[in-house]
Structure 1
Amino acid sequence: MKEATKKVVLITDCIDVASSEMKFIILLECQKLGMTNVNIEVVPISEFSIINASFLIRLMGEHCPPGTVFSVVINPQKHRSARIYGKTKNGILFFGANTGALTWFLNDFGIEELYEVHDPGFISFGGKYVHAPNVAKLLTGVPFNEFGKKFDTNNITNLNITDGTIVHIDNFGLMKIMGNTPKYAEGTRFKISVNGIYKLDAKFSNRMMSNDDKEWILYKGSSLHGMPELGTVRYKKGFEDMGFKIGDVVTWEEIK
């Protein structure tokens, strides 16, 4: 019988050769443990952004089947955080530093098991030398208690992302914004402010691509059941022109 393919989602801001190193260490460690049929997808994070990591982990949690392993490699903090791992109630396994990046994902899908890996002390490039070998253990079914100890859920770092926060900017320059699905009449106009400062006017549209080039449009996006999105039509540098970045807070006021 053919061995079922095991899936890893490597969610990281290490997107140069480092991502290839991590992938091949995972594959090598899996081979040592008797597993050869492994597929690894890399999801790039905006550099140093825990907010962007949090969104992307939650987004992928929506789509990946039970048994998928999330390896989260990002830690821009000065201090070392505990490396935690476990399983959600929808069957996804995860391994990552306790930075707050996992909060949204764990809150929405629930925790079935939670552990902290035995601390090896500081090791340069932990994503390669600590995360990757332990991800292989998760993939191959090594019991959780053989490479770590129980971790109290009360000690999970909380990341509070307020409504209006830009959580992702895609390669078309379109900004995904934390919040409920926008529901307005076609053509409704708004004053857009960022971090409390007025920046531009935009209009609401059900299909942003039906509008004029470079026009600013607020619309119902495709992620997580219709999060708000804001961007310029067929022009990917609108957010750069205005200096918008992940973590900024966007608000809008209808123009009467």
Structure 2
Amino acid sequence: MYDIGTRKRALALVAQGRSLNSVSRETGVSRAAIRSWQTRIEPLGWASRAVPCPRRQDVPRLPEEPAAYAYLLGLYLGDGCISAFAKGVYFLRITCADAWPGLIDACAEAMRLVRPDNKVFRVQRQGCQNVTCYSKHWTCLFPQHGPGKKHERRIVLEPWQREIVDAHPWEFIRGLIHSDGCRVVNWTTRLVGGERRRYEYPRYFFTNTSADIIRLFTDALDRVGVEWRTLNQSRAAVTVSVARRASVALLDAHVGPKH
């Protein structure tokens, strides 16, 4: 018999794509036991609890923490995916680079606020952490989930999602920039009084291959009065640039650099 903590750890490792052999060696649990936990009819209590679905069709209601949801939605559209785990249970995984520990904390906190009854896991991979949470409700909270890559399918917000994004546009923008964007400092030189001096200016960039996600991002920028333009480039992905001083100042006030 294995305690619930051992089961949680073993199944979390398998959910990240690890083989049964490697998980068995790391945890000391037999492959047969791990396989039986994967195929059991009723999922473990920590993965799914008897709580009402937050997006029931007959009683529609918004998530209890809409600001956290708007941020998590931006992260999901950039670096997130939803996968089936057990019968009726899914896991949301968002990959965050080790270079930004503050972002990892913010992602985990948003996930915890959106699904407070489910535990959030952090699984270390090479150069990044996968922030993961198991729930029955991820596919109804993120109806953009579907087969294939995001840029190969239509990404449209449901009316209730649009209501949240309209109410919390900065959180949504921050999630998108934290996933597929960055703040950089460019520089040039100018002659001032006959002396050449270095002049620095910050810019924000957001890059994505999905035209729908790009449109969601630029629509949100328009809503908060941020000026933007797209860059001409040969690759399939589109990059949105924010370079005007007033617009950069708005992003600095509400988003800021990753940390």
Pairwise TM-score range, normalised by the shorter structure = under 0.3
Normalising to structure 2: TM-score of the pair? 0.26
Rg larger for: 2
Higher strand share: 1
Normalising to structure 1: TM-score of the pair? 0.26
Higher helix share: 2
